[in-house]
Chain A
């Protein structure tokens, strides 16, 4: 365990001490600072007009749906492109610079290496989610909020980020080139996202159910709406486990070449 922490700590320092991470954070902050007040403003207007329109659907009067949900969608989009940038170097660069030799000849197992790096990636994603969380949190200055669904929603986006991270470190372990790792990782992230489209295009109810289940979107939506479903957690957990396991296999296989 101390080896996992050693690797994790080193990578976390690598993230939080590198300017790249702060550039990403700055861009996120810039996007939210522009979009969030706008959305909030629109919502405030809607609330005012709602007084004259008693038949307005309830959802449109809910800040969770009207403000936080769009923000989370943007965050999700950002994560699709930013998580690969964070994880691309984790394995690819080590292989290229021959520092992977050090890890492979140290008394650590492949699982420990993957765990350490994965935890580091999670910490960076947590940082991004925390940054985004500041916007809704700041809203409490002028509105009363229901904290529980908000926190669950951010937990949801964090778990989705964790799924991306698992897929992206797997992508990084496949190649020596950080650029290839990035492109591959973005493709992976988009792929799970687009599986959701299958729900709309297939006819048979069984196929639709399957697509619904494997679509990340469906599970995220449930969480964003503030409901924790065990099957969602199990599905997302097993996705994370699957890709970490695949990554561990790739690392292990490099010892056998």
Chain B
């Protein structure tokens, strides 16, 4: 649905993004992750046709963003960093105006506006001037504005900024609900948000993609390993020697208690199964086994702020 090739943008001397390449399939929810100034908003602005890239190209639904901007814009709902709301308009009038701009047919206008208001719980303030709304409500109006034309592609730049926890949860649910019918790109600094909503993550740092993969892979991926936590009934069993004979186990360490063990193993799918059946066969008495994934936060920090080595390791891993 969205394809970006060698996208580069420089503002005067500053290179904001450098030869980005990625693809988003129809119905996918992709999270853009990166520290401040990484180039997330810049990439989004180019995809929405708000500004031109310095070089490279982007297509949405097969239309080039700069050869066919009108076709692309018909398909996109965009929430910029600052919600583009007119203070002197009422919420409902504003949404109606946006729907008109986006070319929503007359017979669907009322229904779409109604739906957008409902999805973002704006019913209580629909008759109020936007300038009198609180920041969170303005953000919601911004989200409603992106939804009102029922676009195929939604581009949301930090959608949950300034919202209260309940509303954050609601917006996340909304995004999950939209998954499948709409293709969504959202940017954020908040990791749980990506974990809650996105299927795939693109991590950008200093204008370059340092990782792009599914959430499951990313958190696992560090050096292609996984860590398994094990608790057995028998205390002080000689598990370390016994377990190292299992195929794929890299190292075994004693855990906090004398029943606990930490196992580093490769990331193959049946690893947990093999460890479990070994423990049971040998009669250690299996109490608990959990796969302790590397935290997304760790991955993120390592990829963006940590050593460059981690990044190169990762590239090789991919």
Q: When the two chains form their complex, are residues B101 and A102 in contact, meaning their CB atoms are under 8 A apart? A: yes
- Residues of B with C-beta under 8 A to A109: 70
A105 touches B73 (CB 8 A): yes
Given A14-B88, A18-B88, A107-B73: A101 touches B50 (CB 8 Å cut-off): yes
B97 touches A6 (CB 8 A): yes
Residue positions of A touching B, CB distance < 8 A: 2-3, 6-7, 10, 14, 17-18, 97-109, 255-257
Surface stretch bound by A, among B74-82, B207-215, B296-304 = B74-82
- Inside 8 A of B69's CB, which chain A residues have their CB? 107
Q: Would you give the shortest CB distance from A77 to chain B, in whole angstroms?
A: 29
How far does the alpha carbon of A106 sit from the alpha carbon of B71 in the complex, in Å? 10
B contacts, CB < 8 Å to A: 48-52, 69-71, 73-74, 76, 78, 80, 82, 84-89, 97-98, 100-103, 145
- Pair B100/A105 contact, Cβ less than 8 Å: no
Do B80 and A101 touch across chains, with their CB atoms under 8 A apart? Answer: yes
Q: Which of A10, A99, A100 contacts B85 (CB 8 A)?
A: A99
- Having A98-B80, A105-B76, one finds 5 other A-B pairs with CB under 8 Å, namely A97-B87, A101-B84, A106-B98, A106-B101, A109-B70
Chain A residue contacts of B73, Cβ below 8 A: 105-107
Contacts of A101 in B (CB 8 A): 50, 78, 80, 82, 84
Complex Cα distance, B89 from A18, in Å, reads 11
- Taking CB atoms, residues of chain A closer than 8 Å to B51 are 255-257
10 A-B pairs within 8 Å (CB atoms) are namely A6-B97, A10-B89, A17-B88, A97-B84, A101-B84, A105-B50, A106-B98, A107-B69, A256-B51, A256-B52
Task: Assess A102 versus B84: contact at CB under 8 Å? Given A107-B74, A255-B50.
Answer: yes
Instruction: Give the interface SS of chain A, mostly helix, strand, loop or mixed.
Output: loop
Q: Check if B50 sits within 8 Å of A7, measured CB to CB.
A: no
Complex contacts, A2 vs chain B, CB 8 Å: 100, 103
Partner of A6, one of B85, B101, B145: B101
Q: How far is the CB of A125 from chain B (nearest CB, A)?
A: 20
Contact B101 A103 (CB under 8 A): yes
For B82, list chain A residues within 8 Å (CB). Answer: 97-98, 101
